[in-house]
Amino acid sequence: MIDSLKEHIIDAAQEVHRHLLGPGLLETVYESALVYELSLRGISSQRQLPIPVTYKNSPIREPLFLDILVEDTIIVEIKATGKDYPFYYAQLLTHLRLFNKKSGLLINFGKKNLKEGIFFLEN
């Protein structure tokens, strides 16, 4: 099921990338378009889910926000930059841990060739 869902998300992301003519827009634009494209395909998703930040069971700041959670299974982290930074992968790993999920996709719409900007992680 994970592999099939992953392929559906990637296909939807490629459609968004094609339709919006590649890189150059803000992350939030790609995020909104991807959530909409997933809904057109009958795939449920939630966006901007709060991630509480606590220290010794006490909140220490405002929450962080998860970009997209698809079918309550795969976390999707959206980026829109021409560069890849190791922090992006660390961020996805942290979100997987905090949400107790096993699978995540990092999709960087800032790449001219979107396939170069897709990274799948299973924890």
pLDDT band per the 50, 70, 90 thresholds, residue 52: confident
Residues 61-120 pLDDT 10s: 888 899 999 999 999 999 999 988 899 999 999 999 988 899 999 999 999 999 999 999
pTM > 0.85: yes or no: yes
Dig out the tokens for 43 from the structure: 């795939």
pLDDT band per the 50, 70, 90 thresholds, residue 27: very high
Q: Under the phi-then-psi rule, with left for phi > 0, alpha for psi from -120 to 50, and beta for the rest, what region is 56?
A: left
Using the predicted structure, report yes or no on whether residue 1 has a pLDDT greater than 80: no
Using the predicted structure, report yes or no on whether residue 2 has a pLDDT greater than 80: yes
Number of alpha helices (DSSP H) and beta strands (DSSP E) in the chain = 3, 7
Beginning with the edge strand found earlier in the chain, give each strand of the sheet holding 103-108 in spatial order: 45-51, 64-70, 74-79, 103-108, 118-122
Among candidate residues 117, 84, 91, the one with its CA nearest the CA of residue 16: 117
Distance CA 4, CA 88 (A): 24
